[in-house]
A and B are shown apart, each in its own frame.
Chain A
Amino acid sequence: MKQMLQQCKRILLIALALTLAVGAVPALAKSRTINGAGATFPFPVYSQWAYQYYRVAKVRLNYQSIGSGGGIRQIKAKTVDFGASDAPLKPADLEAAGLLQFPMIMGGVVPVVNVPGISAGQLKLSGQLLADIFQGKISKWNDARIRADNQGLALPDQAITVVHRSDGSGTTWIFTNYLTKVSSSWAKEIGNNKAVNWPVGVGGKGNEGVASYVQRVKGSIGYVEYAYALQNKMNHVLLKNSDGNYVAPTSETFQAAAAGADWANAKGYYMVLTNQPGENSWPITGASFILMYKNQVKPETARAVLSFFDWCYKNGGEIANNLDYVPMPAKVVDMVEATWRQEIKASGKPVWK
């Protein structure tokens, strides 16, 4: 019995030593790291920015692209320094949680089709028509209403297969936000969220899932982020914007949509860039947002986070453009930084100067 006790003691000692050794490792690695979590849509550009920023400032960004929902939960649980969300939080929700929200990067959502005989930029659709297709009200490509807007296009007698996202996503949020704005029947029956009750069609996981389904199924229509449409050389459609012009998805038309937006009067930067006025505005444009606490406990960390975002706003434009994202206009950046000065505080003192 005595021997057994001794043996147990020895095992315990070894276990204790191991625990201490493991515990010591993170303490050593703890140089300067800022933590964020959230939206997947801007992840490629955030990670590029983080890579470049580490080279100039020696500050590491640990960004987990776990989805906007997860990002919001993590910032509320205070396990990260900032959260990221594709859909803006309502001003009332921000107020209740004591959070500040600002836009970081923009992108566009592009309807893509796979219809035999139709190449990129040939098919013209109005918002109403797009909504009716996604609602299953128009089920054939040679429907009279599609033909009316596309004189001279040889539209086949083929069933339309709608392809949507199966996972909850900011892309779906932006897309359904647009459909809600342009179609009253969509607004009434389906609505706007990161996942909705799709009346027809099949769901692909992620942009790559939708892209591959659309490429697979003849007669299909789906929606993907601009970058995916470009990289997969998919056939985009022309959309009728709120000024009545048919526009193609390009950086210029996304920027036109952002330029026309009235950020100054958007409380809590709650701004959705869909269906914006302007003759060149792409109607399905959206921004991705950052969430931070107004009241910071650790001012150094908060300053490090804001310095990173400041660097991204000022030096990250080219990286964003290369990845087919749209940087925020300088005017909006100035407004955002003014907000930082006023709102983000640590023990009553502003963190950002």
Chain B
Amino acid sequence: MQTHRRFDWDPVFHVLTLGGGLVLMLVVGAIFWELWQGSQLSLEKFGWSFLVTETWDPVSETFGAASTIYGTLVSTLIAMLIAVPLSLAIALFLVELAPPRVSALVGGGIELLAAIPSIIYGMWGLFVFAPFMSETVQPLLAHIPGPFFTGTPMGIGMLSAGFILALMILPFITAVTRDIFRMVPAVVKESAYGMGSTTWEVTRKVTIPYGIQGIIGACFLGLGRAIGETMAVTFVIGNRHEISASLFAAGNSIASTLANEFTEASEDLYLSSLVELGLVLFGLTLLLQILAQWWLKRTRRKMGGGL
């Protein structure tokens, strides 16, 4: 019998994949444990008030994460508000409307954007985008009444950080949603067209509902990247530990605070507070993941969807 002599790879494969899965869990657990251990000092000293205190004073060693949590969430929110509709529009254009040659060209360009290192986005943001913001965009926005667009138009601040982040996550969301739209079976779309639907109707009632779970997944991929982005944000956010309603004002995010202050933090409590910031970011990401899972389940129940 020929088959008798063949080496059975299945158990090896099983052990390998199982090992991979276990290592992943182990790494996540170890990261959490290290962060937890490292932030003991700060946890003991500040307790829960760490999350709501705005002061960040290395001299008197009073630390609070409120301004950085706020900055992380707001800059990410701005980025998502800009990037999600834009990416969906681009992906739909590439799949449904663009001639194949244009689609290939634009698609290539978008993948290229995804490959640019974040420090380049930061430098470009500081030297090219910030002057453009301060001279052109912000003076225009300043006409809008309300507290969001007040203050000196410096070109640096929460709004600029949000824009740069949007630009950074755009290619990720676009690339994934494009692939999802492509996977919608032609038969389904053609039947809708056959019933006399317009392109807009097919998009709205067939393509998007079919791929909704994948689209939400793509958005959370972008969100995950935006929330932890470090260098590009550090360059343009203005790095100020203060909560301000104005989007022109400088702010701070957790990741950029870590990048800024970790190297020179020689006092134990200071270092411990920075590690606790890391723990907060870890928790925040976890929370968002849970939220994403819950939302996915809900949409699956409500809208069905094939992916």
Shortest A175–chain B CB gap in Å is 13
- Determine whether the beta carbon of B240 is less than 8 Å from that of A203: yes
CA distance A7 to B155 in the complex (A): 62
In this assembly, does A167 line the interface, its C-beta being within 8 Å of a C-beta of chain B? yes
For chain B, the bracket of interface size reads 35 or more
Stretch at the interface among B23-31, B81-89, B166-174, B263-271: B263-271
In this assembly, does B75 line the interface, its C-beta being within 8 Å of a C-beta of chain A? no
In this assembly, does B112 line the interface, its C-beta being within 8 Å of a C-beta of chain A? no
Q: Within 8 Å CB of A205, what residues of B? A: 234-235, 239, 259-260
CA distance A3 to B60 in the complex (A): 67
**A212-231 Cβ-contact flags toward B at 8 Å (1 or 0):** 11001100000000000000
- Determine whether the beta carbon of B240 is less than 8 Å from that of A202: yes
In this assembly, does A68 line the interface, its C-beta being within 8 Å of a C-beta of chain B? yes
Q: Within 8 Å CB of B57, what residues of A? A: 196-197
Shortest A212–chain B CB gap in Å is 6
Shortest A80–chain B CB gap in Å is 15
Q: Within 8 Å CB of A198, what residues of B? A: 240
In this assembly, does B224 line the interface, its C-beta being within 8 Å of a C-beta of chain A? no
Query: Which residues 154-174 in A have Cβ within 8 Å of B in the complex?
Result: 159, 161, 166-170
| Option from A67, A69, A73, A217 in Cβ contact (under 8 Å) with B154 | A217
Q: Within 8 Å CB of B235, what residues of A? A: 205, 209
Shortest B229–chain A CB gap in Å is 14
- Determine whether the beta carbon of B239 is less than 8 Å from that of A166: yes
| Option from B7, B59, B154 in Cβ contact (under 8 Å) with A202 | B154
CA distance A169 to B130 in the complex (A): 24
In this assembly, does A193 line the interface, its C-beta being within 8 Å of a C-beta of chain B? yes
Q: Which single residue of chain B is at the shortest CB-CB distance from A220? A: B154
In this assembly, does B134 line the interface, its C-beta being within 8 Å of a C-beta of chain A? yes
**A47-61 Cβ-contact flags toward B at 8 Å (1 or 0):** 000000000000000
In this assembly, does B74 line the interface, its C-beta being within 8 Å of a C-beta of chain A? no
* Known pairs A67-B263, A216-B154; A203 contacts B238 (CB<8 A): yes
* Known pairs A196-B59, A202-B156; A66 contacts B240 (CB<8 A): no
Count residues on chain A whose CB falls below 8 Å from chain B CBs.
37
Query: Which residues 134-189 in A have Cβ within 8 Å of B in the complex?
Result: 159, 161, 166-170
Q: Within 8 Å CB of B49, what residues of A? A: none
In this assembly, does B203 line the interface, its C-beta being within 8 Å of a C-beta of chain A? no
| Option from B58, B260, B265 in Cβ contact (under 8 Å) with A196 | B58
Q: Which single residue of chain A is at the shortest CB-CB distance from B238? A: A202
Q: Within 8 Å CB of A197, what residues of B? A: 55-60, 241
Shortest B71–chain A CB gap in Å is 12
- Determine whether the beta carbon of B154 is less than 8 Å from that of A193: no
Query: Which residues 119-142 in B have Cβ within 8 Å of A in the complex?
Result: 126-127, 130-131, 134
* Complex A-B: 21 CB contacts under 8 Å: A4-B11, A4-B12, A66-B263, A67-B263, A67-B264, A68-B264, A70-B263, A72-B266, A167-B263, A167-B264, A168-B263, A197-B60, A202-B157, A203-B238, A203-B250, A203-B260, A204-B239, A205-B259, A212-B126, A212-B127, A217-B154
Q: Can you add 17 more A-B contacts, CB < 8 Å, to A67-B263, A195-B58, A216-B155?
A: A4-B11, A67-B264, A69-B266, A69-B271, A159-B152, A166-B234, A166-B256, A170-B264, A191-B60, A194-B58, A197-B55, A202-B154, A203-B238, A203-B260, A204-B239, A217-B134, A217-B155
Binding site for A on B (CB under 8 A): 7-8, 11-12, 55-60, 126-127, 130-131, 134, 152, 154-157, 234-235, 238-241, 250, 256, 259-261, 263-266, 271
